[in-house]
Amino acid sequence: MPTGGSLINKHRLTAAKQLASPNFSERTQTAKIELLVIHNISLPPGQFGGGYIEAFFSNQLDPDDDPYFRDIAQLTVSAHLLIDRLGHMTQFVPFDKKAWHAGASHFEGRDNCNDFSIGIELEGCDDEPFTVLQYERLVSVTQQLMAEYPDITLDRIVGHSDIAPGRKTDPGPHFDWALFRAQCA
């Protein structure tokens, strides 16, 4: 990624590889982007690399590649952006579109957080720390998103667990919220 960060152009992160997911919908004309949701994902669980996340978000996951995939291959989910363990970024859905990342969710009296949020997946799991490169990329992207979509503020950045308590645990106990927020400020 270039020094000083990348740019957002036409709701796309120019420093990210673009891989279109079919799993998105239009936002309503009145929907403002005002929430950032941080997730973690690894496929198979606890394993990194292999391209399975990209395949999953593109509806190309082969259920025969791992027994776990048999239960999830038919799901239609996506995120706006994935940051892998090496800091590489892949954008699946333009930020102005509704990615299907939050599921049943609730924030400040509103349901269906997909309607007004951006979802960023960090390749990881609840049991391991994230990498320095992932934090660097996430901070840079977050600062750019806050500049591009000013309704996203530090107090409107949450974990999936915050909007789906009891159902989701990510980004998990190893995500360093204090470090992340301090670097974003």
Domain ranges of the chain: 8-184
Catalytic residue among 121, 123, 136, 148: 121
| Furthest CA-CA distance within the chain | 45
pTM of the model: 0.95
CATH architecture for the domain at 8-184: 3-Layer(aba) Sandwich (3.40)
Per-residue pLDDT of the chain (185 residues; tens, 9 = 90+): 333 445 999 999 999 999 999 999 999 988 899 999 999 999 999 999 999 999 999 999 999 999 999 999 999 999 999 999 999 999 999 999 999 999 999 999 999 999 999 999 999 999 999 999 999 999 999 999 999 999 999 999 999 999 999 999 999 999 999 999 999 98
Q: Measured on CA atoms in the order 128, 57, 62, 68, is the torsion positive or negative?
A: positive
Q: Alpha-carbon distance 183 to 16, whole Å?
A: 21
Q: Is 54 a catalytic residue?
A: no
Question: Two tokens at 156?
Answer: 């409107």
Q: Within 13 A of 142's CA, how many CA atoms are on the CB side? A: 26
